[in-house]
């Protein structure tokens, strides 16, 4: 059978009856049904609203088949070593698990305190191997490590679906809670997994046992669809035909079969799911704004935002999840394009908040029908700070490429315009041989480099406007602040970490001020290949806040999202007078290094905080505008917004930390 880059491969697991018996695990009635239902969805044809996956692309383990060793070996054989899945491609890989989850206690190395992490329970957990050794659960860091390896080898189009929960102690639930449906969690915590058990999964000191978190909101390897939050309960329910199923899987399959997946993101999919008492479906991972099971959107240089209709009769209006943080002002114009990329009409921003805007038809346009799945792209920002003024000398060979006289309407949303004089310019462009010289005036980039030189090839000349757009986008968000409704009391700390296992990684007090490397907004590091780092966001204010941490690379003009809160249904991650750690404990730590020919390099940490969840996916710029392959920022898609947000006042703020690393003379 020939391989296909967009094929689907799945490992489906359903466990009702655990070998350790009812004293450890309550017998379930619906997990195996869920696994069969999910396989049926995978194999049903597109005309039956399934995915049409060939049966040979699916491995289905149920009950006694789903041992720990079998799950681990099948993951390797069916995903990692499967020659039908092209390396580095965009094949869709799905891991589905319905069964019991639990928590596992782990002990920190330095302070001796216990903490807990989530595990999934294979059918033989808490039994003995033939040699008398115990069978352990599969911790989330082990599964996360496997997923990271899979993403690196086969590509990051990975979806993990868990219809289980990890709250533990379910025998203490009141009768009323038990009547709501049998929970899918073990009665007691799982035994700690010995560090040596899965040590073959990591081969160096940085990728140590607990460097990966399945639940991490900033995970880049996969998208997680979970039946509930980490502290909630996933339950079963009885249908009218008396069959038993997981509430989450039942509703998820209904949504998967009914929605237009080619126009639906993972977050939108979860938004369509109901909320139950103590069970809130959850979506996690950096790529959760990507299209379901597809993982890729066409890159066309435009960042597109989904429309959410508010009213259709009389005075039609739509909401989009892009607002003042991104530079939208009252009067900003948006071009509406159909799912087939055809021009429909122009809408203008009537009401603008931090993360949302209300759009209405432009004055010169009559209300028109806008089909479902349509997106908008900014065609005129109408915002002086959002648009940079670019100065070019009188003799500049690429003036027509940058400032054409016949600029089309859908191209008018460019982030720059020609400066009338040097005095009002933000950006200076000049040419030296075949090198474009880029110089900024009066912005933070000049703190680390005076100019950027770009050798222009033929394709870069053609796409020069997109390159300048990318540079302006970088500088705009690097310097973005809120001068109207700031949020004092939030600070960012950076730590060098100690500890060889992820769960024991804590700030090393021997570096910085009691472990904090940030001094007056600056961090100075000495290059050390063995060092790993993490962050703490502290909130001394009296209100809960939502933090978003980015890394800005001024040499490549890339912007990486390092942390964002879980989906909008999750509880606020940073409460008043509280703190949030990033890269500590069981999460991925961060590494910084210099290129072999570098003696010094700098970058910026940028922290946005808000009183409400923000949609900041559009801030990211994963590919460097200086690369020959750059074709503009990747097309994005956003989720709908609850209507009541428009009534609330949103506050937001931002801060930066300059990070500089120096190599000591050898």
Q: Work out the pLDDT band at 490, boundaries 50, 70, 90.
A: very high
123 and 178 housed in the same domain: yes
pLDDT at 568: 64
Region 550-574: mean pLDDT is 85
Domain that holds residue 35: 8-289
pLDDT at 56: 96
pLDDT at residue 324 above 70?
Answer: yes
Q: 536 phi and psi, to 5 degrees?
A: -130, 130
Q: Any idea of the CA torsion for 165, 168, 174, 176, to the nearest 10 degrees?
A: 10
Residue 483 in any domain: the answer is: no
Domain count across the chain: 3
Residue 48 in any domain: the answer is: yes
Whole-number Å distance between alpha carbons of 463 and 416: 14
The pLDDT tens digits for 608-627 are 999 888 888 788 888 889 98
- Which CATH number is 445's domain given? 3.40.50
504 and 428 housed in the same domain: no
pLDDT at 304: 67
The pLDDT tens digits for 512-532 are 999 999 999 999 999 998 888
The pLDDT tens digits for 576-587 are 999 999 988 767
245 and 160 housed in the same domain: yes
User: How many beta carbons lie within 10 A of that of residue 426, not counting itself?
Assistant: 18
pLDDT at residue 474 above 80?
Answer: yes
467 and 550 housed in the same domain: no
Q: What percent of the chain is modeled with pLDDT above 70?
A: 81
17 and 146 housed in the same domain: yes
pLDDT at residue 161 above 60?
Answer: yes
Compute CA distances 422 → 391, 418, 643, whole Å.
Answer: 6, 10, 46
pLDDT at 303: 61
pLDDT at 352: 87
For residue 128 the two structure tokens come to 């003995």
What contacts 189, CB < 8 A, 6 or more positions away? 102, 103, 104, 105, 116, 168
176 and 85 housed in the same domain: yes
Residue 444 in any domain: the answer is: yes
Region 539-566: mean pLDDT is 91
- Which CATH number is 267's domain given? 3.40.50.1460
Whole-number Å distance between alpha carbons of 67 and 400: 65
51 and 184 housed in the same domain: yes
pLDDT at 6: 58
470 and 548 housed in the same domain: no
For residue 437 the two structure tokens come to 């010289």
pLDDT at residue 317 above 80?
Answer: yes
Whole-number Å distance between alpha carbons of 402 and 430: 13
Residue 461 in any domain: the answer is: yes
Look at residues 222, 256, 289 and tell me which one is the last residue of a structural domain: 289
pLDDT at 12: 98
pLDDT at 410: 43
Whole-number Å distance between alpha carbons of 536 and 450: 31
Compute CA distances 451 → 68, 308, 428, 557, whole Å.
Answer: 56, 42, 10, 12
The pLDDT tens digits for 169-210 are 333 333 444 444 567 666 666 777 776 677 667 555 444 433
pLDDT at 189: 63
pLDDT at 507: 92
- Which CATH number is 536's domain given? 2.60.40.1940
Region 305-334: mean pLDDT is 80
106 and 250 housed in the same domain: yes
The pLDDT tens digits for 49-105 are 899 999 999 999 999 999 999 999 999 999 999 999 999 888 999 999 999 988 877
547 and 421 housed in the same domain: no
169 and 232 housed in the same domain: yes
Residue 89 in any domain: the answer is: yes
Look at residues 261, 289, 317 and tell me which one is the last residue of a structural domain: 289
pLDDT at 153: 93
The pLDDT tens digits for 366-385 are 667 888 778 888 878 876 67
Look at residues 478, 506, 539 and tell me which one is the last residue of a structural domain: 478
The pLDDT tens digits for 588-605 are 788 888 888 889 999 999
Whole-number Å distance between alpha carbons of 112 and 106: 10
Mean pLDDT of all residues belonging to the chain: 81
DSSP state of 316: -
Q: Work out the pLDDT band at 28, boundaries 50, 70, 90.
A: very high
Residue with tokens 């349509």: 374
Q: What percent of the chain is modeled with pLDDT above 90?
A: 35
Q: 440 phi and psi, to 5 degrees?
A: -100, 150
Region 499-519: mean pLDDT is 83
The pLDDT tens digits for 260-281 are 777 678 888 888 888 887 888 8
Give the chain's largest Cα–Cα span: 83
pLDDT at 207: 44
User: How many beta carbons lie within 10 A of that of residue 231, not counting itself?
Assistant: 10
Whole-number Å distance between alpha carbons of 234 and 252: 13
Residue 346 in any domain: the answer is: no
Residue 639 in any domain: the answer is: no
161 and 241 housed in the same domain: yes
Residue 325 in any domain: the answer is: no
State the Cα angle at 272 between 268 and 273, rounded to 5°.
120
Kindly give the interhelix angle for 31-43 and 247-258, rounded to the nearest 10 degrees: 10
Q: Work out the pLDDT band at 442, boundaries 50, 70, 90.
A: confident
Q: Work out the pLDDT band at 10, boundaries 50, 70, 90.
A: very high
pLDDT at 95: 97
Choose between 250 and 258: higher pLDDT: 250
pLDDT at 163: 94
């Amino acid at each position: 059978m020939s391989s296909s880059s967009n094929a689907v491969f799945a490992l489906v697991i359903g466990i009702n009856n655990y070998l350790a018996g009812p004293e450890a695990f309550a017998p379930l009635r619906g997990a195996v049904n869920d696994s069969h239902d999910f396989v049926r969805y995978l194999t049903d044809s597109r005309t039956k609203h399934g995915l049409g996956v060939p049966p040979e692309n699916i491995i289905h383990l149920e009950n006694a088949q789903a041992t720990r060793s079998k799950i681990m070996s099948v993951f390797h054989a069916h995903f990692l070593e499967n020659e039908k899945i092209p390396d580095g491609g965009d094949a869709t890989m799905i891991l589905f698990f319905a069964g019991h989850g639990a928590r596992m206690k782990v002990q920190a190395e330095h302070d001796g305190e216990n903490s807990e992490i989530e595990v999934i329970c294979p059918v033989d957990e808490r039994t003995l191997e033939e040699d008398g050794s115990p069978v352990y659960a599969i911790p989330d860091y082990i599964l996360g490590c496997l997923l990271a390896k899979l993403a690196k080898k086969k590509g990051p189009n990975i979806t993990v679906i868990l219809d289980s929960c990890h709250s533990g102690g379910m025998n203490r639930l009141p009768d009323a809670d038990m009547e709501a449906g049998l929970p899918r969690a073990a009665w007691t915590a799982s035994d700690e997994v010995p560090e040596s058990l899965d040590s073959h999964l990591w081969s160096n000191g940085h990728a140590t046992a607990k460097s990966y978190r399945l639940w991490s909101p900033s995970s880049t390897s996969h998208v997680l669809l979970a039946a509930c939050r980490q502290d909630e309960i996933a339950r079963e329910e009885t249908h009218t035909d008396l069959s038993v199923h997981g509430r989450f899987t039942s509703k998820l399959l209904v949504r998967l079969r009914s929605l237009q997946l080619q126009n639906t993101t993972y977050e939108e999919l979860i938004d369509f799911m109901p909320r139950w008492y103590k069970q809130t479906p959850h979506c996690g991972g950096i790529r959760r704004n990507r299209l379901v099971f597809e993982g890729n959107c066409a890159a066309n240089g435009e960042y597109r935002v989904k429309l959410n209709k508010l009213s259709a009769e009389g005075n039609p209006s739509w909401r989009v999840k892009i607002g003042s943080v991104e530079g939208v002002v009252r009067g900003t114009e948006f071009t509406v394009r159909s799912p087939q990329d055809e021009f429909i009409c122009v809408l203008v921003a009537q009401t603008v908040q931090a993360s949302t805007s209300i759009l209405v038809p432009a004055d010169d346009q009559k209300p028109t029908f806008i089909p479902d799945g349509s997106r908008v792209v900014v065609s005129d920002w109408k915002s002086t700070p959002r648009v940079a003024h670019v100065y070019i000398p009188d003799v500049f060979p690429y003036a027509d490429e940058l400032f054409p006289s016949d600029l089309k309407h859908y191209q008018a949303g460019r982030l720059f315009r020609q400066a009338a004089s040097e005095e009002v310019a933000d950006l200076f462009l000049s040419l030296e041989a075949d090198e474009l010289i880029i110089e900024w005036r009066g912005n933070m980039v000049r703190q680390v480099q005076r100019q950027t030189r770009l050798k222009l090839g033929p394709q870069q000349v053609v796409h020069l406007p997109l390159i300048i757009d990318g540079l302006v986008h970088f500088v705009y968000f690097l310097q973005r602040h809120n001068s109207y409704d700031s949020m004092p009391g939030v600070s960012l700390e950076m730590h060098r970490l100690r500890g060889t296992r992820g769960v024991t990684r804590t700030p090393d007090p021997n570096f910085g001020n009691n472990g904090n490397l940030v001094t007056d907004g600056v961090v100075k590091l000495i290059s050390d290949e063995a060092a790993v780092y993490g962050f703490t966001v502290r909130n001394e204010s009296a209100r809960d806040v939502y933090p978003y941490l980015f890394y800005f690379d001024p040499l490549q003009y890339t912007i990486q999202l390092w942390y964002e809160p879980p989906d909008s249904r999750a509880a606020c991650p940073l409460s008043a007078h509280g703190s949030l750690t990033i890269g500590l404990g069981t999460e991925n730590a961060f590494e910084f290094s210099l290129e072999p020919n570098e003696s010094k390099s700098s970058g910026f940490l940028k922290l946005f905080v808000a009183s409400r969840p923000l949609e900041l996916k559009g801030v990211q710029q994963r590919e460097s505008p200086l690369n020959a392959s750059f074709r503009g920022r990747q097309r994005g898609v956003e989720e709908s917004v609850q209507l009541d947000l428009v009534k609330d006042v949103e506050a937001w703020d931002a801060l930066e930390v300059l990070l500089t690393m120096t190599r000591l003379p050898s």
